[in-house]
Chain A
């Protein structure tokens, strides 16, 4: 939570900036508390505790714009900091598109109702946290002579922010998080030491998976033993719900207003056009209670609402903030996605896998990138060869290469099993005709 003292400081800083000649200003303060404990094999390896505060201030001076931030919150220092910021901003070129949003677009509610803060955060004892990582490490430590290293980590924290603007916005956001992860390494063939991990995270302590994380990490490592590459070829590909966002994220970048305005996108002038498979409908659903990603307003203070991003393969919106909107002469929407969901299919991951005669299940990406203006991609992958609906061989050291729009046109089936602890709730998806490079 942001203290009243820091809220007052933000208001003072804004007034100071306006008094010193700014036509407008936005001030935000943030505070964070973080704790983490890392356990390896049979002992605590590391504990870290911290809390931090800072202020950032956007100055609109004589049609010019600068953005300044500091963690030195002493008033006398802030006075000099803001004065110097104003002075520096005056040297820049004018930018008529730099404006605060229209006030009617701001969120005006009381900030309540999203249920993204655990009021019991401070009630959780260090002993309880330690017990979790100890137990998760013990789930597997010493259970298999091929194990080299077992580690388990716990972390939690609070993030708070508070923002005001000179044209009337005031908003606060507080959220908590708890997470547990485990990582195991094993002796593989030759000199390899394959490793894998598992984790859970939650907004509420009570909802955190507190056991089984170590065991799952171990199982995910065991199944990788004996990985190899197979002959290059074109196969169907299923990407599970832990990895699918990797293939969606460059599409989301391509519909960002700044990318469109800078011509750094493969989705310019595509609004209301069929861009990908009609099986895919993507929704930005920002007000789901208790969900990661939920928020009442974006980074500019604009009220969020439920929006359809892609409807049956047709692009329905760009993410346009005030600046890009003015430059593009386009109605602004919202700065960035909040909570992405998609219309589910009828089958879960296992049921889709069972339909695959021969194909590849991607369980992890290893590097790679995509071309932001053409959509061409090439990613390293690992996973399994699927034959007659069953995983028959662990794979690694292979690449998939193609074009993102082509790939998303070739969607065969969308699952019904998104990971609910993520702000991008996308289930497993089966694609056809994917180019794999191997031997």
Chain B
């Protein structure tokens, strides 16, 4: 149960677009709306919010919050040469949380009538058992910097405007290689309206766009079949869809698939591994990122529980969890507890600098929250989650790093990873890479799992490249049953030793 899954959205993940119901278009046009419009969107008034809050605190909870969400998701998919499947989903509701010490009561309802919200607040309030507290009278509206402003919303994007990009993606993949036999292309856009109010009087709102475009390619050669996948994701508007991005995905899907026909499984065992820049950030996500999430440390179940302020790796290493990269898949203007997003140094100059906090863990540690309290939707409690996790640049070129390895592997394409928080054992699955022999990349390799131990792997990073790249793929992180959009990055690094699957 302490395992954390990390999956790259599959080629057939929900995708696409459809005309939005008018209920949505009627009240909000696009871009960030002012507060009255957002309150109106959810059909609530400031008086309602105060009334619900009073019920949430009627049993003496220390803290409470209301998280309103209205999410529209559109998907569209191409199979067997035609865009022949589309759909959409609407999710609407409010989650009400009451915190008493480190205990949490939670309930949600799928509408925002005062009566239903009060009932949910009453359910959540039962976590506490004291006398009623009075909510603040004054409402304090907080406005945050917008890291994903949009010009033309997905809500106003027509299905006709989006379809041609899927068709182009299909056609380009077929054009690029004669061995291609099947293409699955998909597009998934979503828009979330968020309104947040807590017992400190904070009231804020957000408008969160997301787009994923992906191509999945099957090739056949001499009776053998291989497949690979490429995707791009961002918090952007319809301007995201360009011929360039289609070309990038097509090229990558074809290249990743073609490589597999020549690839072998290496001999397994412990060996040096060079992680190429970009998606290799999965190493940080699994090896240390999860173990730095403060809920595990508060409960002392993380292998890094007693390591704050201690040197854990080479002093040239800096690891960041960043929620404020413009338009990034992992970015948020404020977290799902009303805390401004920020750039958090997890490791600074080789020293464990900060855990990733939500409100509960920050209070436990007596520090300011770091803006990592996130939730999949109004149906879930917020917990500490990563945003965009990456390592800052070092001084080596990738060539220098590879040249340093006599016998090992180079990896740069992954599908999924996982970690056991307490034991520290993490893994990631390598879709493709190369053998390194005498300082040079030689034979391609494929379909191997790699396994290591978090603190040891971090301490084993002996060279860091100068080529940091944040991967723009559609990464989704899973924890406690909640999926969360994240991103990750890494400059090329040398890990002295990992256990490589093989034959």
Contact with B along A189-203 (1 / 0, CB 8 A): 001111101000000
- Say yes or no: is A421 at the interface (Cβ < 8 Å to chain B): no
Judge if A45 is at the interface, Cβ distance under 8 Å.
yes
Pairwise interchain contact A84-B226, C-beta atoms closer than 8 A? no
A382 to B449, alpha carbons, bound, how many Å?
14
Contact B418 A195 (CB under 8 A): no
Contact: A72 with B23, CB < 8 Å? yes
Inter-subunit contact B90/A81 (CB<8 Å): yes
Q: Least Cβ distance of B97 to chain A in Å?
A: 10
Report if A85-B123 is in contact (Cβ < 8 Å); known contacts: A91-B163, A369-B449: no
Contact with A along B424-447 (1 / 0, CB 8 A): 111111000000000000000011
Stretch at the interface among B98-106, B200-208, B322-330, B365-373: B98-106
Known A-B contacts A262-B218, A397-B499; the reply to A194 vs B85 at CB < 8 A is: no
CB pair B21–A439 under 8 Å, yes or no, is: no
Asked if residues B85 and A92 are in contact (CB atoms below 8 Å), the reply is yes
Q: What string of 1s and 0s marks CB contacts (under 8 Å) between B73-107 and chain A? A: 00000011011111111111100000000111111
Contact between chains at A81 and B21 (CB < 8 Å): yes
Q: Which residue of B lies closest to A43 (CB)?
A: B103
Q: Which residue of the partner chain, among A50, A64, A91, A369, contacts B107 with CB atoms under 8 Å? A: A50
Selected contact of B20 from candidates A64, A84, A374, A402, CB within 8 Å = A84
> In chain A, what residue has the closest Cβ to B79?
A262
Q: Which of B185-193, B451-459, B471-479 contacts A (4 or more CB under 8 A)?
A: B451-459
Q: Does A273 contact B (CB under 8 A)?
A: no
Q: Which residues of A are found within 8 Å of B305, using beta-carbon distances? A: 191, 193
A194, B426: Cα distance in complex, Å: 13
Question: CB of B270 within 8 A of chain A?
Answer: yes
Report A382 CB to chain B, min CB distance, Å. Answer: 8
- Is B301's CB within 8 Å of the partner chain A? yes
Residue from A70, A371, A379 within 8 A of B89 (CB atoms)? A70
Asked whether, in the complex, the Cβ of A148 is within 8 Å of the Cβ of B84, the reply is no
Decide yes or no whether B1 CB sits under 8 A from chain A: yes
- Does A438 lie within 8 Å of B447, measured CB to CB? no
In the assembled complex, B214 has its CB within 8 A of some CB on chain A: no
**Of A69, A91, A398, which contacts B451 at CB under 8 A?**
A398
Q: Are B1 and A264 closer than 8 Å at their CB atoms?
A: no
Chain B 380-405, CB-CB to A under 8 Å as 1, else 0, gives 01000000000000000000000000
A180-188, A292-300, A304-312, A333-341 - interface stretch: A180-188
Q: Which residues of A are found within 8 Å of B421, using beta-carbon distances?
A: 193, 195
Cβ-neighbour of A45 out of B22, B104, B448 (below 8 A): B104
- Rounded to whole Å, the gap between the CB of A246 and the closest CB of chain B is 12
- Which B residues touch A268, using CB under 8 A? 225
What per-residue 1/0 map shows which CB atoms of A359-393 lie under 8 Å from chain B? 00000001111111110111110100000000000
Q: Counting CB contacts under 8 A, is A52 at the interface? A: yes
- For residue B299, CB closer than 8 A to chain A, the reply is yes
B222 at the interface (CB under 8 A from A): no
Take A70-B90, A437-B502 as given contacts and tell me if A195 and B19 are in contact as well, using a CB distance cutoff of 8 Å: no
Q: How far is the CB of A93 from chain B (nearest CB, A)?
A: 4
User: How far does the alpha carbon of A106 sit from the alpha carbon of B338 in the complex, in Å?
Assistant: 50
Q: Are B429 and A369 in contact (CB under 8 A)?
A: yes
| Cα(A95)–Cα(B123), bound, Å | 48
A209 to B428, CA, bound (A): 35
**Given contact pairs A71-B93, A378-B447, A64 touches B84 in the complex (Cβ within 8 A):** yes
Given A195-B423, A366-B418, A399-B501, A80:B86 Cβ within 8 A: no
B448 near A193 with CB under 8 A, answer no
Report whether A91 and B110 are in contact in the complex, using a CB–CB cutoff of 8 Å.
Answer: no
With both chains docked as a complex, state the minimum distance between the C-beta of B20 and any C-beta of chain A, in angstroms.
7
Chain A residues near B218 (CB, 8 Å)? 262-264, 373
Residue A279 interfacial (CB < 8 Å):
no
Q: How far is the CB of B282 from chain A (nearest CB, A)?
A: 10
CA of A314 to CA of B304, assembled, Å: 49
Asked if residues A195 and B420 are in contact (CB atoms below 8 Å), the reply is yes
* Interface check B126, CB cutoff 8 A: yes
Set of chain A residues within 8 Å of B422, measured between Cβ atoms: 185, 188, 192-195
Cα separation A262 to B227 with both chains bound (whole Å): 11
Does residue B224 face the partner (Cβ distance < 8 Å to A)?
Answer: yes
A274 at the interface (CB under 8 A from B): no
Assuming the contacts A185-B301, A262-B218, A369-B449, asked whether A71 and B127 have C-beta atoms less than 8 A apart, the reply is no
Q: Which residues of B contact A287 (CB under 8 A)?
A: none
Q: Is the CB of A368 within 8 A of B423?
A: no
Chain A residue at minimum C-beta to C-beta distance from B498: A397
B306 interfacial contact with A, CB 8 Å? yes
Query: Which chain B residues border A437 with CB–CB below 8 Å?
Result: 268-269, 499-502
Query: For residues 93 through 130 of chain A, which have their beta carbon under 8 Å from a beta carbon of chain B?
Result: 93-95, 98
Quick one: closest A residue to B160, CB to CB?
Answer: A91
Which residues of A from 338 to 359 have beta carbons under 8 Å from B? Answer: none
Tell me the smallest distance from the CB of A144 to a CB of chain B, in Å.
15
Q: 5 tightest CB-CB pairs across the interface, nearest first? A: A437-B268, A367-B427, A399-B501, A193-B422, A88-B18
9 sample A-B contacts, Cβ–Cβ < 8 Å, listed by A number: A44-B127, A68-B88, A89-B18, A194-B422, A367-B427, A370-B447, A397-B425, A435-B268, A435-B503
